[in-house]
Amino acid sequence: MINRISAIAIAAVSFASVALTATPSQAAKCGGDFQGFIAQMSQEAAAAGVSQGVISQAFAGVTQDPAVLSFDRRQRGTFNKSFEQYVSTRVGQGRISMGLQMMQRHASLLSRIEQRFGVPPEIVVAIWGLESDFGKGDIGKMPVIRTLSTMAHDCRRTELFQGELIAALKILQRGDLPQRDLVGAYAGELGQTQFLPSSYIKYGVDFDGNGHVDLRHSVPDVLASTANLLKTAGFKGGQPYGEGTANFEAMREWNRATIYRKTIGYFADRLAAGR
């Protein structure tokens, strides 16, 4: 979500990046021999119902990625700007214009999403634009299994990332994405609105009806899943979403940083005014 890995690293944490992680019932021992750790994780995954075939394929040749740990360790607080400074870097006229185009192009889809989940199109499209420039920006190219294995082996947040690793294996097991498409950012975030695997499993919606939840390629799945997370967090349709409202608080489950939620609202207001 926010600056990829920083969603995990700092207090301003995005809900879709960390919430409701499927922590293994008995965590593997972090640190030490990496391959020994992977062997323990293989056992945990099997106990969680992942097939041996999926486990063997996913972990074949997996190694630690020192770049992941290096990036994680150099994270600092992201929101050290005023709202005016921050929003000026995220919501320019070009992005607003593209957002309006996306709202027009996907008007029927967004209407169906609003009817089902109660989240207005401008909020969904604002988040989509901020997270990945409407799917046209960088959504990550790092192998998620390797990234999460590296983070889980590190002892600082091992239980969180062990759970995310097993959730990633479950995405493979369900057939939502092939392993070649299970690529993401520095904390394993996936897709056009940057869900970590546990949130992918919990909130992902097959809105195009093809039997799979594809948050990398399917715009219907991406936008519906984003709305589903907000609905589950308590977002109510037809209600205001500005600072101090119940919906603003519900959006805290997307991102805990007030400045980021204000940016979502600002962007949404610009889109609503231009419709």
Is there a contact between 78 and 12 (Cβ–Cβ < 8 Å)? yes
Active-site residue (options: 131, 164, 243, 249): 131
Instruction: Determine the Cα–Cα distance for residues 194 and 149; give it in Å rounded to an integer.
Output: 18
Quick check: helix, strand or coil at residue 228? helix
Please name which of 200, 198, 219 lies closest in space to residue 129, comparing C-alpha atoms: 219
* Annotation says 131 is catalytic: yes
Instruction: Locate the DSSP E strands across 53-164.
Output: 142-143
Quick check: helix, strand or coil at residue 142? strand
Report which residue type is found at 55. Answer: I
197: enclosing H helix or E strand: helix 197-203
> Which residues, other chains included, contact 236 with Cβ-Cβ below 8 Å and sequence gap of 6+?
118, 246, 247, 250
Hey, which residues are catalytic here? 131
